Chain A
Amino acid sequence: DAGVIQSPRHEVTEMGQEVTLRCKPISGHNSLFWYRQTMMRGLELLIYFNNNVPIDDSGMPEDRFSAKMPNASFSTLKIQPSEPRDSAVYFCASSPTGGRQPQHFGDGTRLSIL
């Protein structure tokens, strides 16, 4: 079974550039989550969707961050403009329904903003 697929695996870009991270959830999963992981802050939930609808974006750090889920099989997390403090590993996860169901994580995108 294909798991959660994220692309790219690594991204290095200069500050000020637009960055787009992509995620394909497991087929049939109705919930999708975007996380950020850093040494300082650990794992932070940025935003999650149920049935393609954003439910809680209170973890999105600033207006520079935006996320979309145009259909059940694709989501993007965009940072514009990017800053060095955005450097982190970004994970996408999906689950069959919210709550009481374990989440399945992708392998992450390691983002470095120079």
Chain B
Amino acid sequence: GDSVTQMEGPVTLSEEAFLTINCTYTATGYPSLFWYVQYPGEGLQLLLKATKADDKGSNKGFEATYRKETTSFHLEKGSVQVSDSAVYFCARDRDDKIIFGKGTRLHILP
């Protein structure tokens, strides 16, 4: 069935390091793709989205490009901050639902 696969965490980086979190999706149909972020004690929040091939979603310094040829939607940030420590979820839509990956926990060290 439709699924989203993202790299397992935790990922630990130093402040100002470059971040990549890999995500691939099953290619059924032409899904919209999303990255959500969950801070401790809170619900998931939409971080960015892309609705068609070659679209780039961006927000708060994070970017992800919809790559149809590789069925990927990798999340990147050029210089992470301690405040970026959270769990990141890659997701795709299917019919009326959103299919989430298992989440990647990110720790940023000062």
Instruction: Determine how close the nearest CB of chain B comes to the CB of A105; give it in whole angstroms.
Output: 3
Complex Cα–Cα for A106 and B42 (A)? 8
Please give me the residue from chain A that is nearest to B47 by CB atom.
A102
Contact across chains for B43 and A107 when beta carbons are under 8 A apart: yes
Instruction: Determine how close the nearest CB of chain A comes to the CB of B31; give it in whole angstroms.
Output: 8
Contact across chains for B49 and A99 when beta carbons are under 8 A apart: no
How many contacting A-B pairs (Cβ < 8 A)?
52
B71-97 residues with Cβ-Cβ distance < 8 A to A are: 89, 93-97
B41 within 8 A of A: yes
Residues of A within 8 A of B102 (CB): 42
> Do A55 and B100 contact each other (CB < 8 Å), given the known contacts A100-B32, A105-B43, A107-B43?
no
A91 within 8 A of B: yes
A48 within 8 A of B: yes
The DSSP consensus for interface residues of chain B is strand
A4 within 8 A of B: yes
The DSSP consensus for interface residues of chain A is strand
Contact across chains for B95 and A107 when beta carbons are under 8 A apart: no
Contact across chains for B49 and A102 when beta carbons are under 8 A apart: yes
Instruction: Determine how close the nearest CB of chain A comes to the CB of B76; give it in whole angstroms.
Output: 20
Contact across chains for A56 and B97 when beta carbons are under 8 A apart: yes
Interface residues on A, range: 20 to 34
Complex Cα–Cα for A104 and B95 (A)? 17
Contact of B44 among A50, A91, A100, A101 (CB under 8 A): A91
Residues of A within 8 A of B96 (CB): 31, 48, 50, 55-56, 97-99
Binding site for B on A (CB under 8 A): 4, 31, 33, 42-43, 45, 48, 50, 55-56, 91, 93, 97-108
Binding site for A on B (CB under 8 A): 32, 34, 41-46, 49, 51, 89, 93-98, 100, 102-103
Known: A43-B100, A93-B43, A104-B46. 12 other contacts (CB 8 A): A4-B43, A33-B97, A42-B103, A43-B89, A50-B96, A93-B44, A98-B95, A99-B94, A99-B97, A105-B43, A106-B43, A108-B42
